[in-house]
A and B are shown apart, each in its own frame.
Chain A
Amino acid sequence: MYILHIPRINESEKPRFFGLGLPGARMDPIIRYVIRRILFMIPVFLGVTVLVFYMISAIGDPVQIMLAQVPNISQQQIEMVRNYFGMNLPVSTRYLTWLWGVMHLDFGVSIFKVQPVASLLTIYGIQTLKLQFASIAISLVISIFLAIASTAYQYTKKDAVIMGSALLSRSIPAFWLGLILILIFSYWLGIFPSHGAVSIEENLYGNQILDELWHMVLPTLMLTSYNLPTFTLLLRSSMMDVSREEFILASRASGLTKRTVIYKHTLRNAIIPLVAYVMYTFGIMIASSPVTETVFTWPGVGVLFVQAITNLDYPVIMGVIVLLVVTVLFASLIGDILYAIIDPRIKLQ
Chain B
Amino acid sequence: MKVKIFNKNSYWYFTWQRFKKSKFGLFGLSLVLVISVMAMFAPLLAFYGPYDNYALIHGPGIEAPPSAGHPFGTDRFGYDVYSRIFYGARTALTVGVITATLASIIGITIGGLAGYLGGQKDEGLMRFTDSFMLIPAFVVILLLVRIFSLLTSSTFLGDIPYLNMWVIIIVLGVFDWPPIARVARSQFLRIKDSEFVEAAKCLGSSTWRILAYNILSNALPAIVVLSALEVGSAVLSEAMISFLGFGDPKVVSWGQMLTFAATDMKTAPWVAIAPGAFIFLTILGFNVLADALSDAVNPRLKE
Shortest Cβ distance from B236 into A: residue: A173
Indicate whether A324 sits within 8 Å of B136 (C-beta atoms), given known contacts A167-B291, A175-B240, A179-B262: yes
Q: How far is the CB of B66 from chain A (nearest CB, A)?
A: 15
Comparing B137-145, B157-165, B183-191, the segment that makes contact with chain A is B137-145
Which of A172, A182, A286, A291 is within 8 Å of B280, CB to CB? A172
Q: How far is the CA of A123 from the CA of B277 in the complex (A)?
A: 35
Instruction: Report the interface size for chain B: residues with CB under 8 A from the other chain.
Output: 41
Q: A287 near B137 (CB under 8 angstroms)?
A: yes
Q: How far is the CA of A168 from the CA of B277 in the complex (A)?
A: 13
Q: How far is the CA of A284 from the CA of B136 in the complex (A)?
A: 6
Asked if A46 CB lies within 8 Å of chain B CBs, one says no
Q: Which residues of B contact A89 (CB under 8 A)?
A: none
Which of B151, B279, B288 is within 8 Å of A58, CB to CB? B151
Q: How far is the CA of A179 from the CA of B139 in the complex (A)?
A: 21
Q: Which residues of A contact B146 (CB under 8 A)?
A: 309-310
Indicate whether A187 sits within 8 Å of B265 (C-beta atoms), given known contacts A167-B287, A288-B138, A324-B139: yes
Q: How far is the CA of A179 from the CA of B279 in the complex (A)?
A: 14
Q: How far is the CA of A309 from the CA of B141 in the complex (A)?
A: 11
Indicate whether A173 sits within 8 Å of B143 (C-beta atoms), given known contacts A58-B151, A290-B138, A295-B262: no
Asked if A68 CB lies within 8 Å of chain B CBs, one says no
Which of A172, A182, A287 is within 8 Å of B138, CB to CB? A287
Which of A44, A59, A187, A283 is within 8 Å of B269, CB to CB? A187
- A261-310, CB < 8 A from B: 283-284, 286-288, 290-291, 294-295, 305-306, 309-310
Asked if B35 CB lies within 8 Å of chain A CBs, one says no
Q: How far is the CA of A280 from the CA of B208 in the complex (A)?
A: 38
- A303-327, CB < 8 A from B: 305-306, 309-310, 312, 317, 320-321, 324
Most buried by A among B131, B258, B273, B276: B276
Q: B142 near A176 (CB under 8 angstroms)?
A: no
Q: A180 near B279 (CB under 8 angstroms)?
A: no
Q: Which residues of A contact B138 (CB under 8 A)?
A: 284, 287-288, 290
Asked if B103 CB lies within 8 Å of chain A CBs, one says no
Q: A173 near B244 (CB under 8 angstroms)?
A: no
Indicate whether A171 sits within 8 Å of B280 (C-beta atoms), given known contacts A179-B272, A183-B269: yes
Q: Which residues of A contact B258 (CB under 8 A)?
A: 175-176, 179
- B79-136, CB < 8 A from A: 131, 134-136
Which of A287, A305, A310 is within 8 Å of B245, CB to CB? A310
Q: How far is the CB of A179 from chain B (nearest CB, A)?
A: 5
Q: Which residues of B contact A321 (CB under 8 A)?
A: 139, 143
**Interface size range on A against B:** 35 or more
Which of A59, A167, A290 is within 8 Å of B147, CB to CB? A59
Q: Which residues of B contact A52 (CB under 8 A)?
A: 143
* Interface class of chain B by DSSP: helix
Q: How far is the CA of A175 from the CA of B269 in the complex (A)?
A: 15
Asked if B58 CB lies within 8 Å of chain A CBs, one says no
Asked if B42 CB lies within 8 Å of chain A CBs, one says no
Asked if A32 CB lies within 8 Å of chain B CBs, one says no
Q: How far is the CA of A182 from the CA of B266 in the complex (A)?
A: 10
Q: B139 near A286 (CB under 8 angstroms)?
A: yes
Q: B150 near A59 (CB under 8 angstroms)?
A: yes
Asked if B232 CB lies within 8 Å of chain A CBs, one says yes
Q: B151 near A59 (CB under 8 angstroms)?
A: yes
Interface string of A104-141 (1 = CB under 8 A from B): 00000000000000000000000000000000000000
Asked if B32 CB lies within 8 Å of chain A CBs, one says no
Q: B265 near A305 (CB under 8 angstroms)?
A: no
Interface string of A24-59 (1 = CB under 8 A from B): 000000000000000000001000000010011011
Q: 9 A–B contact pairs at CB < 8 A? A: A58-B151, A59-B151, A170-B287, A177-B276, A290-B139, A290-B142, A290-B244, A291-B244, A310-B245
* Interface of B toward A, CB cutoff 8 Å: 131, 134-140, 142-144, 146-147, 150-151, 232, 236, 239-240, 243-246, 258, 261-262, 265-266, 269, 272-273, 275-277, 279-280, 283-284, 287-288, 291
17 A-B pairs besides A171-B232, A175-B240 with CB distance below 8 A are A55-B143, A55-B144, A59-B150, A173-B239, A179-B262, A179-B276, A180-B273, A187-B269, A194-B265, A284-B136, A287-B139, A288-B136, A290-B244, A291-B244, A309-B146, A320-B139, A328-B134
* Interface of A toward B, CB cutoff 8 Å: 44, 52, 55-56, 58-60, 167-168, 170-173, 175-177, 179-180, 182-183, 187, 194, 283-284, 286-288, 290-291, 294-295, 305-306, 309-310, 312, 317, 320-321, 324, 328, 332
